[in-house]
Amino acid sequence: MNDFDHGTPDDTGIRLQKVMAAAGVASRRASEELIAAGRVRVNGQVVREPGRRIDPAVDKLAVDNVAIQLDQSKRYVMLNKPVGIVSSLADENGRPDLREFTEQFEERLFNVGRLDAETSGLLILTNDGDLAHVLAHPSFGVMKTYIAKVRGAMTPQTVQRLTTGLELEDGPIAADKARLLETSNGFSLIEITLHSGRNRIVRRMLKEVGHPVVDLVRRSFGPLHLGNLRVGATRELTSAELGQILTLSRSKDAAAPAGSPDSSSEAGE
Residue 37 makes CB contacts below 8 A (sequence gap 6+) with none
CA distance linking residue 214 with residue 119, whole number of Å? 10
Cα dihedral: 150, 151, 153, 158 (round 10): -60
101: left (phi over 0), alpha (psi -120 to 50) or beta: alpha
Q: Mark whether 130 is an active-site residue.
A: no
What element of type H or E holds 192? strand 187-194
List the catalytic residue out of 116, 176, 215, 253.
Answer: 116
- Backbone angle region of 222, left / alpha / beta, with phi > 0 → left and psi within -120 to 50 → alpha: left
**Active site positions, annotated:** 116
